[in-house]
Chain A
Amino acid sequence: MIEIHNLTKIYRNGILELRALDDVSFSVPTGDMVCIMGKSGSGKSTLLRQLGLLDRPTTGEIILDDISVTKLSDDVTSTLRLERLGYIFQEYALLAELTAHENVFLPGMMLSNEGVDYEKRAKELLETVGLGKRIHHYPKELSGGEQQRVAIARALINSPQVIFADEPCANLDTISSRLVMETLINLNKDTSVTIVFVSHDPDDKQYARNLVVLSDGKLVLDEQ
């Protein structure tokens, strides 16, 4: 369960002040699939980054499984990201020096839970997302859709409780987009992992069970 209480994020540049999130509150039940929608500049990605612990809100609180995570140290948030969260970036954000397989198993190598063969698991995950034959390819040798699926496999390597996906289909063609979204839906169904994704495409709300709409940083809709 993720609870968001009065989340506000203000960006300051000299005397200029931009309120990217303004007193946003909602909750995401465990196992839910939530779509955050809104126009460009509405604060969708900003919200997701706060939830994914990549940034800190100016005020407000995020509670992840009864733990307030907004004021934890960098080291602890790093551990939380590693152990509990998976993050899929809009631009894939793969490490160029590593193959698809290495990109996927690297977070596993960092976590190194006993009894888990991360190299094998990475291989299986890549097969799950349809890239079993491209595991030794480097990111630049993969299409956008393939890179995004590698990013999904990477987000899953440590069996996270929540996956955050920031416009995962923004740079993909229709077929690749459908493949990526179907992969996320299947994951949600098969593993009950909570998925929170951001999209500006109204058609994508069909994939979600819960919809959050932002406008100018404010929550305007939170519907089941």
Chain B
Amino acid sequence: MIRSLKVAVFLAYKGIVRANIGVTFLTVFILVLVALNLMFVPGLINGITDSANEKLINTYSSHLVIEAQGLKDQGYKITHVKNLLTSIESINGVEAVAARNSVGTNISFKDESNNERKINCMVYGIVPEEEMKVFEVSEWLVEGSYLDNRDRDKILLGIQLAGAGQSDVELFSHSLRDVHAGDKVTVTYNNGYTKQYTVKGIFHTRFIQTDLQAFVTQLEYESIIPDTHDTASELHVRLDNNADPLEIMRRIAMFNSGVDFQTWQQNAGIVNSMTTSFQLINAILDVVNALVAGITIFIVTYVDVMNKRRQIGIQRAIGIKNHAIIFSYLLRALGYLIVGLLVARSLFIWVIMPFEASHPFYFPFGAVYLSLELPLLIRTTALLLAISIVAAFIPVMLITRIKILDAIWG
């Protein structure tokens, strides 16, 4: 066996070194295209899901959402929030925690022509200082500025509510359309209380569910909704990268057993169904791409082997064992594949990804960047290796089965 391996390695090496440069280039080029095809679409889909998930975590849900057990609209709230926040922050793996109170409202705006527009939305009472540690909403302001802890009579609006004169916003026709920072809007809370607010800022995170939110300070909220001091409708917890959410949930439950947890995945809603759909599309494309890759590599190898039919016949005639010949062609195919993969990977990382990063694809939740994660790279490599081995094995095996004289003279 070692002798056969030695001969196979020798023949494969000589075959590659002495091969026609044009044919080698074409073979590697085709393999590069096949590999890029296998990287690009999953890379894009990974980028879309990564980007959507990142937006979801950074602007809408955080890693972990804690709610009081029971229905929110029936007034179930988390109590003794200050103590709970301190306890949660002390847990190893927790980066920050923010408490929110929420209430249903109606917001109206009268423009210069005295036309009034109204929308229904949730208004959240937040502590801006806490909020900025958990969410990135403050980084997506398109007008005005973010709330301060002590702000009163001021409101922060998402662009899907304000409109801000940007008719290309997805829900512009349902928004207040032309509200800008500094404008006055009237908020009617579901307890009947009505108050005028100055719009302090407008944010556009490009994540629609976030951009449909409005914020006032907790100080303001407590002045409108009674009995909400030191309470929260929900707590949002930001975790370290390596934190174990299950362990953290277990420890939080020890501080307060009357709470429910939702991970960001459970809280994803529409994003979840979108990423599930994309993963399904990805799986279908994977099968199609694998078939295309298999057929392409098979054709390339088949043509190569057919051109070497006489050489294979001679090798058999002089006593080279069939398995050594088959193995030499497998090694050749793998050699071409490895070069193809390396070139494709280099092109992807150093040319395509930087180019795409400077000209990103835009989706409703923002720019999407190609992503080449290790599992994708391993999967692509393993898939192409398996395909190459099968695609090279079949034609060589067929030739080693025909009569030696037929192989030499056809």
Contacts and interface: CB of A to CB of B under 8 A. Distances in A.
Interface of A: 49, 54-55, 74-75, 78-79, 81-83, 87, 89, 93-98, 102, 106-107, 109-112, 138, 154, 158
Which 10 pairs show the lowest CB-CB distances between chains A and B? A82-B319, A97-B18, A81-B319, A112-B3, A93-B314, A97-B14, A107-B318, A54-B404, A110-B7, A110-B320
Interface residues on B, range: 20 to 34
B318 A97 contact: no
B317 interface: yes
A98 B405 CA distance: 21
Contacts of A89: 314, 317, 408
B311 interface: yes
6 contacts: A81-B317, A87-B317, A89-B314, A93-B408, A97-B17, A110-B321
Contacts of A83: 319
Given A54-B404, A75-B321, A110-B321, A95 B314 contact: yes
A74 B15 contact: no
Given A81-B317, A82-B319, A110 B324 contact: yes
A147 to B, nearest CB: 12
Interface in B220-245: none
A55 B405 contact: yes
Contacts of B318: 81-82, 87, 106-107, 154
B316 to A, nearest CB: 7
A78 B323 CA distance: 11
A55 B406 CA distance: 10
Given A83-B319, A95-B315, 18 more contacts: A55-B404, A74-B322, A78-B320, A81-B317, A81-B318, A87-B318, A97-B15, A97-B17, A98-B14, A106-B10, A106-B11, A106-B315, A107-B318, A109-B3, A109-B6, A110-B324, A154-B318, A158-B319
A102 B317 contact: no
A92 B95 CA distance: 77
B317 A96 contact: no
Nearest to B13: A97
A102 B403 CA distance: 25
Given A54-B405, A81-B319, A82-B319, A109 B10 contact: yes
B312 to A, nearest CB: 10
A138 B18 CA distance: 10
Nearest to A54: B404
Contacts, number: 74
Contacts of A102: 14
Contacts of B314: 89, 93-95
Contacts of B316: 78
Contacts of A55: 403-405
Given A54-B405, A97-B15, A97-B311, A106 B7 contact: yes
Nearest to B321: A78
Interface string B1-25: 0011011001100110111000000
B311 A110 contact: no
A49 B321 contact: no
A106 B317 CA distance: 12
B325 to A, nearest CB: 10
Contacts of A93: 314, 317, 408
B311 A111 contact: no
A194 B255 CA distance: 96
A58 to B, nearest CB: 13
A106 B11 CA distance: 9
Contacts of A107: 318-320
Nearest to B6: A109
A39 to B, nearest CB: 20
Pick from A96, A98, A110 the residue with the most CB of B within 10 Å.
A110
A107 B320 CA distance: 7
Given A55-B404, A109-B6, A109-B10, A96 B319 contact: no
B19 to A, nearest CB: 8
A72 B314 CA distance: 20
Contact of B3 (A87, A94, A110): A110
B315 A54 contact: no
A82 B17 CA distance: 26
A98 B4 CA distance: 17
